[in-house]
Amino acid sequence: MAAQPLPLAILGTATANLPAVPTAAVAARLGVPEADLVRKTGILARRAAPPEMTFGALGAQAVRAALSAAQRDAASIERLILVNSTGCDDLCPATANHVARELGLGRTLDCFDVNNACSGFLTALDLAARCVATGYDTLAIVAVEMGSRYTDPSEPRSYAIFGDGAAAAIVGRPRGRGAILGSYLRNDPADLEAIRMTIPRASGERPLLRFGGSNEHIMKRSLEVVAESVAEALRRAAVTAERIRWIVPHQPNGPLLDRMLATVGARPSQYVRVVHEHGSLGSASIALGLDAIFRTGEVRPGDLGLLFGVGGGASYGAMVVEFDGEEGRS
């Protein structure tokens, strides 16, 4: 049986602009050949926020640009959801409040943070669609990650791949058929240690992103849950893979991305690769990939998109989205 569609318009998307750090600089810090690091990670560069940049300011930069793309004012936002994996500016209150203050907003919206590792943007998009179905008009979702602040050469596996970035989507009521046709989100706490960052007061350790599982285990498990998620999202949407025009995957690194794309049978014309220029971006990866497909200018009304990802927790999921509206913005 097909799921009940959730109405959703993706009104505008944007990616924050940050300077690039070439892989050559990362390789030098690690004391390894640049060519070897590029081969193992598929990353040519990653982005780095200035030391004085706050999560709130970076998130606001992305939201402002997305509002411009959506031709909406900040005052139209009724709910602001910030997605992150590492705690942002404050554990309390929610860093979404910092974004709202940067935007000059107060007493016109509610705002909160969502943390579901690399799948957090899917979680927020699913929640936003349910908000629209119950009467909300305009919401902002912004995923903000600064992996460079939680990595160190002493943990080479994470230091080699994570970068900084933020991407936002303004969503609201569809003008036509825009909807999430099928959504499938799951967590498997059996894999809690695969990648983790502990709270300092609980562990006594510096907060660093650490991989606890082998590359082989993470690859195998990721491909298993991606196949499960995509199959179930397609089933719930009552569509076949052949009807999918756009694919927006989580992009953790080059080799794993290639394997995930092969698992779902993706064609090069269906997706835009971003990991090679931005590094691994945690919860911001899918958000940035979504913005990237819109930047092609080729998304059309009625196109179907397949979004999927996997992250720590283990969190994983997929959804089928129908795009609608002028210039392909649902």
Mean local confidence (pLDDT), 92-99: 94
Looking at the DSSP bridge assignments, the partners of residue 316 are: 186, 310
* pLDDT value, residue 124: 98
Whether the pLDDT of residue 216 is over 90: the answer is: no
| Within a domain: 188 | yes
Q: Which long-range contacts (CB under 8 A, 24 or more apart) does 195-198 make?
A: 195/117, 195/158, 195/311, 195/312, 196/312, 197/85, 197/86, 197/150
**Pair (165, 26) in one structural domain:** yes
User: Averaged over 12-26, what is the pLDDT?
Assistant: 97
Average pLDDT over residues 179-187: 96
Which residues sit opposite 187 in a β-bridge? 315
Do 143 and 185 reside in the same domain of the chain?
Answer: no
Flag whether 118 is in a domain: yes
DSSP per residue over 154-212, as a string? TSHHHHTTB-EEEEEEEEE--SSS-EEEEEEEEE-GGGTTSEE---HHHH-S----EE-
Q: Are residues 149 and 218 in the same domain?
A: no
Please give, one letter per residue, the 3-state secondary structure of 55-104: HHHHHHHHHHHHHHHHCCCHHHCCEEEEECCCCCCCCCCCCHHHHHHHCC
- Do 163 and 43 lie in one domain? The reply is yes
- Residue 88 pLDDT: 87
Report if residue 204 sits inside a domain.
Answer: yes
- The residue-averaged pLDDT of 78-84 equals 98
What SS3 state is found at 305? strand
Is residue 72 a part of any domain in this protein?
A: yes
β-sheet bridge partners, residue 248: 307
pLDDT(276) > 90: yes
Cβ(279)–Cβ(19) under 8 Å? Answer: no
**Beta carbons of 285 and 279 less than 8 angstroms apart:** no
Domain total of the chain: 2
Question: What average pLDDT does the segment 226-250 reach?
Answer: 97
What pLDDT does residue 202 have?
58
164 part of a folded domain: yes
pLDDT band at 199 (very low <50, low <70, confident <90, very high): confident
Asked if the model's pLDDT at residue 102 lies above 80, the reply is: yes
For residue 87, give the nearest of 121, 56, 122, 44 by alpha carbon.
56
First to last CA, the chain: 25
Confidence of residue 198 (pLDDT cuts 50, 70, 90): confident
pLDDT tens figures, 118-147 = 999 999 999 999 999 999 999 999 999 999
1 located within any domain: no
Query: Is 265 found in the same domain as 195?
Result: yes
Better-predicted residue by pLDDT, 291 or 90: 291
Kindly report the CATH number assigned to the domain that includes residue 231: 3.40.47.10
Bond into 189 cis (ω within 30): no
Do 148 and 221 lie in one domain? The reply is no
Residues whose CB is less than 8 angstroms from the CB of residue 49 and which lie 6 or more positions away in sequence, other chains included: 18, 58, 146, 148, 164
CA distances for 26 relative to 160, 205, 309, 314, angstroms: 7, 23, 26, 28
Domain boundary among 144, 172, 200: 172
Asked whether 160 and 55 are in contact (CB, 8 A), the reply is no
Last residue of a domain, one of 172, 205, 232: 172
H or E element in which residue 126 lies:
helix 120-133
- pLDDT for res 73: 97
Domain identity same for 284 and 188: yes
Averaged pLDDT, 142-171 = 95
Residues 167 and 290 in one domain: no
- Mean pLDDT across the stretch 188-204? 70
pLDDT at residue 329 greater than cutoff 80: no
Do 188 and 42 share a domain, yes or no? Answer: no
Residue 294 lies in a domain: yes
**Do 189 and 49 reside in the same domain of the chain?**
no
- Take residue 68 and report the two structure tokens written for it: 């411009």
Structure tokens at 144: 């903000």
- The pair of three-digit structure tokens given for residue 25, joined into one six-digit string: 């600089």
Percent of the chain at pLDDT exceeding 70? 94
**What's the chain's Rg over C-alpha atoms?**
19
Q: Mean pLDDT across the stretch 63-85?
A: 97
pLDDT at residue 7 tops 50: yes
User: Tens digit of pLDDT for each residue in 32-64?
Assistant: 999 999 999 999 999 999 999 999 999 999 999
Residue 168, in any domain of the structure = yes
Instruction: Using the predicted structure, report yes or no on whether residue 251 has a pLDDT greater than 80.
Output: yes
Q: Are residues 157 and 300 in the same domain?
A: no
Last residue within a domain, chosen from 172, 197, 228: 172
The domain in which residue 202 lies consists of: 179-328
144 and 184 share one domain: no
